[in-house]
Amino acid sequence: MLVAAGCSGTGDDTTVGGQADTVDVAVATPDALPPTVADAETCAVTPDTSACRSFLEDLSDAEFCEVVPADRFCTEFFDPDAVDRAGDGPGGDAAEDSPGRISLDGTGRLRPDTSGDDEATTVVDEVISDPSLRRNDGLCLPRDGLSEWVDADYDTAHHVVEGTLGVACHGMPDPRIAEVWAVVHDIAPPELASQIAVFAGYFNESDTDRSRVGTAFVRPIGTEGAVLMAYNLADLGRTSQDPSVLVAHELAHVVANGPREIAGPPRTDCPTYVDGYGCRRSNAIMTRWVAEFWAGIDEFTPEGAAERCENDAGFFGEYAASNPAEDFAEAVAAYVTGIRAESAGQQDRLDFIDGISAIRTLRSRAQAAGYEAAWYPFTVCG
């Protein structure tokens, strides 16, 4: 779980994809809907079929906002009472500072509408979401809900099948889920993304207790090695949050709790490191991490985090001092997003992480996708 850094959902830093010139249709009628899609909202969430892309691109701004009224373009920039920009379509216009309407290109990333641009940019031809995909193991949400983790209820959840975002198994499809999943897809290689069985969203705007609100978490679910990853959708749009830092942190948990890391279920007599995922193998990442950075600390409790942070500048923030797992995840978040060490202890952590090939892959993919933390998102320890 991550509380030191979160996710910005403005869409300003996402990849921009071009599209061919479109022709506005006079009226959006049910007959215009793609015959293979149940409704237009599905196209707004998972438009990675030619039918959906053509349908959304052919709509005027006014028609587009009738189909996907929750789109950021429609809620923040579109004025239905203004005159259409082209002057020959249905009424409605956008503010001058509008980034263009935000829809989904073939990669599943949110991006501005570039239909009026003279120069089109390239869209990567890679499908990361497919609403027809459904898990055959019946996994969706745990029966205990969110009460143990955050003060909220799940709003939506999607199956993930072999690293591809699939059908909504709980609630309605939500474009915000696709926005966060695009960052996961960019940073996580397919074999790691495949460990995520369910990708969910919840909504909690409270800032009174970040340790309970959180911004995201992962937890084991169902079959061995499978995890649920959940994200607080209220964090989208908070300018102080960084999506790549958040995603790198959560993926660190997935790496550290893979099938090869766990020796068995949690037990009180575990001779290595144990948490809710299980008892670690003797050569597991977390076993070695505890021996290196938590030697001599008897209790791994959040209550001691402030004191540990005050006494050890090696932690990447007070939240990292909560327990070894969060220490590792925050250090990985720094490593993957290019945050430099500000102490010898932090550099020791980054050097340890550099020896883990799976984490080096995360960093390489994050760099290739252009993700780099723009600021130091952690409290200062020591």
The per-residue pLDDT for range 167-184, each reduced to its tens digit, is 999 988 888 888 889 999
Question: Is residue 106 scored above 60 in pLDDT?
Answer: no
Q: For 71-96, what is the mean pLDDT?
A: 48
Q: How confident is the model at residue 149 (pLDDT cuts 50, 70, 90)?
A: low
CB contact at 8 A, 89 and 60 = yes
Q: Sign of the C-alpha dihedral, residues 28, 45, 53, 76? A: positive
Each residue's pLDDT tens digit, 346-367:
999 999 999 999 999 999 999 9
The number of beta carbons lying within 10 Å of the beta carbon of residue 281 is 16
Confidence at residue 102, expressed as pLDDT on a 0 to 100 scale:
39
Q: Out of 95-109, 195-209, 211-225, which region has the weakest mean confidence (pLDDT)?
A: 95-109
Angle in degrees, CA 237, 241, 244, rounded to 5 = 110
Q: What is the pTM of this model?
A: 0.68
H or E segment to which residue 217 belongs: strand 216-220
Confidence at residue 154, expressed as pLDDT on a 0 to 100 scale:
85
Q: For 33-59, what is the mean pLDDT?
A: 53
Distance, CA of 286 to CA of 103 (rounded, Å): 41
More confident residue, 203 or 359: 359
Nearest to 382 by CA among 319, 320, 315, 329: 315
Question: Is residue 192 scored above 90 in pLDDT?
Answer: yes
Angle in degrees, CA 166, 168, 174, rounded to 5 = 105
Question: Is residue 319 scored above 50 in pLDDT?
Answer: yes
Each residue's pLDDT tens digit, 120-131:
332 333 568 888
Distance, CA of 147 to CA of 233 (rounded, Å): 17
Q: How confident is the model at residue 105 (pLDDT cuts 50, 70, 90)?
A: very low
Confidence at residue 211, expressed as pLDDT on a 0 to 100 scale:
41
Confidence at residue 282, expressed as pLDDT on a 0 to 100 scale:
95
Q: Out of 147-151, 246-250, 286-290, 369-373, which region has the weakest mean confidence (pLDDT)?
A: 147-151
Q: For 183-204, what is the mean pLDDT?
A: 92
Q: For 197-226, what is the mean pLDDT?
A: 72
Confidence at residue 342, expressed as pLDDT on a 0 to 100 scale:
94
Q: For 277-288, what is the mean pLDDT?
A: 95
Q: For 285-302, what is the mean pLDDT?
A: 92
Distance, CA of 203 to CA of 154 (rounded, Å): 7
At 171, which amino acid appears? G
More confident residue, 344 or 128: 344
Distance, CA of 209 to CA of 186 (rounded, Å): 31
More confident residue, 300 or 72: 300
Q: Out of 13-22, 220-229, 259-268, 332-341, which region has the weakest mean confidence (pLDDT)?
A: 13-22
HSE value, Cβ hemisphere, 13 Å, CA-based, for 318: 11
Question: Is residue 250 scored above 90 in pLDDT?
Answer: yes
162 torsion bin: left (phi>0), alpha (psi -120 to 50), beta (else): left
110 vs 99, 167, 321, CA distance in Å? 12, 18, 35
Mean pLDDT of the chain: 73
Residue whose tokens read 């030697």:
295
Confidence at residue 300, expressed as pLDDT on a 0 to 100 scale:
87
Distance, CA of 268 to CA of 84 (rounded, Å): 67
Q: What 3-state DSSP class applies to 114?
A: coil
